[in-house]
Amino acid sequence: MEICSITRALLALLICATHRCAAEIQAATKKAKTPCDAARQLDNLAGQATATLTSATQKISQNLLTAQRLAVAAQDPDATIATAAAAIATHFQAQAAAAAALLAEQGPAVAAGAAALHRLAGSQLAIAALERLSIKDMPLGQPTTYATAATQGTIPPQLKASTTQECRTEQGSWKQSDEQQDHDKGLNTPITLHTAAATQTKTGLGNDFTFCGRGDGTGAGSKATSGSCAAGQATYIAVNGGRPLTSAAEVTSLQGTGAGAKYKVISTESKIPNQATLTNELALVKIMLDAAKALDSGIAIPSIANAYNSIEPTVLIAKALGGQDASPSDENIKNQVKTAAEALFGADGEKIKNKLEKHMKEFQPSKAAGSDGNKKLDSISDTDALSKAAAYYTIKNFIDGEEQKKKNQASPSCPTKTEKPEEPKKTADECKKHKTSEDCKKETGCDFDDKKDPKCFPKVENDKKDEKSFSCNLRVPVPQVFAALVALLF
């Protein structure tokens, strides 16, 4: 029994909830024994295609929802939590934006392929319905009787009555044949389609769609058979009807590899559906399969830890300090990068990931923030409530910050003192004129090394001084620091 498309989509979403994975659309493993079986399989494929769009939309929504929750966490008094949350929120927003762009690019192809599958399923339903169509027999009778207006002989079409949906049981479920054969191994995404052709008339007296005659009235009023028909006699005549269309299963699968693969051509110009119709519809199905795969593999819901690793905090800090090409390992800024990282994310940056995840699970926004006061942050799915909570804590932090400024001004905890003005740095030209160590060292701001050329050169500032200076400069609100860093990266 095949897993229905909705169940398949839900399972795929659960499995891929925190990973980037490709839940490829799965073709039926069995050949469709009847047109109804084919319609069911095609409907299942269409459902999987539609579920791909639903899954992509849900992943985008989940990324945006996580970003909103992180926006609330970014207002936490703990500066390390606030900074990490603000940083990671931008990653989830970027994920959602990229996913939305991918969905806009690939979604129409998935929808077109699903529509093609539905049309193909409809053609199978039509073929199943046409199996109820037949031409009525004209039984053995006298020609004079059939040639009389009142008793005219006819061979009318007839349609067997049906009280349920086509290919459905009274309960509404799909009719399904037993003992269906497996598709041949090695076939790439096989599809079974039933095509209908005009029934071929068999030679011989008494067969369907043949004329029959007899010399006496034996069997009059009955369907003609090979035993009741006699060659060269016409005292009594009959015409046998039958089913005008005969359907047969045809299996197609992808031939070739990659983007150039195509479904094998099936059907002919004299069948229903004809070759041109199936070729066009199956081409749309192939494009849909590629687009669905791109959506499944291209959209992920990262974990907090993975998102933190993806933003590469130390790389971001290095670029803010040293420019676009700077690296955290650069000798001239690595101490400053370390100091900044500790100020922004704590002494052990790795621990902030677990700390933030724990905060998301334990923090409970107050009723004043727009929540009901009973839900933890990671369980709130109301986007309006999260928006209000982020706004509330932003305003609250501003008010609290202003109050703290007033207190600090009233009784400063860190009195400032006037520092001695720093002397202007010496230029290379001013230093290199000195040829001896003694003359060079007399020149304030110059340093001497007889292994270098020139031997006297401007003194390099001490890293510790830079580190201390940077630490002091970091004493500004965390959101301001991070806003500058994010602006640089994004």
Per residue in 373-394, pLDDT (tens digit) is 889 999 999 999 999 999 999 9
Count Cβ atoms below 10 Å from residue 255 Cβ, excluding itself.
Answer: 13
Using DSSP's 3-state secondary structure scheme, residue 154 falls into coil
What's the confidence (pLDDT) of residue 452?
80
What's the confidence (pLDDT) of residue 423?
64
H or E, element range at 157: strand 157-159
Which residue ranges in the chain fall short of pLDDT 50?
1-22, 417-419, 463-476, 479-480, 483-484, 486-490
- Per residue in 24-34, pLDDT (tens digit) is 899 999 999 99
Where in the chain are the domains? Answer: 5-128+298-304, 133-157+173-272
Q: For residue 427, which amino acid is it?
A: T
- Per residue in 213-243, pLDDT (tens digit) is 999 989 999 999 999 999 999 999 999 999 9
8-state DSSP, 30: B
What's the confidence (pLDDT) of residue 394?
92
Tokens for 129, please give them.
Answer: 């319905």
Query: Is the N-terminal amide bond of 424 cis, ω within 30° of 0?
Result: no
DSSP codes, 232-297: T--SEEEE--B-SEEEEEEEE-EESSGGG-EEPP---TTSBS-HHHHHHHHHHHHHHHHHHHHHHH
Using DSSP's 3-state secondary structure scheme, residue 465 falls into helix
What's the confidence (pLDDT) of residue 109?
98
What's the confidence (pLDDT) of residue 263?
98
What's the confidence (pLDDT) of residue 2?
44
Determine the length of the chain: 490
User: CA–CA separation, 39 vs 41, rounded Å?
Assistant: 6
Spell out the residues 6+ positions from residue 232 whose beta carbon is closer than 8 angstroms to its own.
213
Count Cβ atoms below 10 Å from residue 445 Cβ, excluding itself.
Answer: 13
What's the confidence (pLDDT) of residue 16?
45
Spell out the residues 6+ positions from residue 484 whose beta carbon is closer than 8 angstroms to its own.
320
- Closest C-alpha among 368, 370, 372, 346 to residue 359: 346
Model confidence, pTM: 0.76
φ and ψ at residue 418, rounded to 5 degrees = -75, 125
- Residue pair 311/302 in contact by the 8 Å Cβ criterion: no
DSSP codes, 162-221: --S-TTB-TTSPBP--SSPPBPPTT-SS-EEEEEEEEPPPPSSTTSTT-EEEESS-TTTT
- Residue pair 36/173 in contact by the 8 Å Cβ criterion: no
Tell the burial category of 316 from Cβ atoms under 10 Å away from its Cβ (0-12, 13-18, 19+). buried
- Residue pair 295/56 in contact by the 8 Å Cβ criterion: yes
Tokens for 233, please give them.
Answer: 């006699």
User: CA–CA separation, 254 vs 286, rounded Å?
Assistant: 8
What's the confidence (pLDDT) of residue 55?
96
What's the confidence (pLDDT) of residue 367?
87
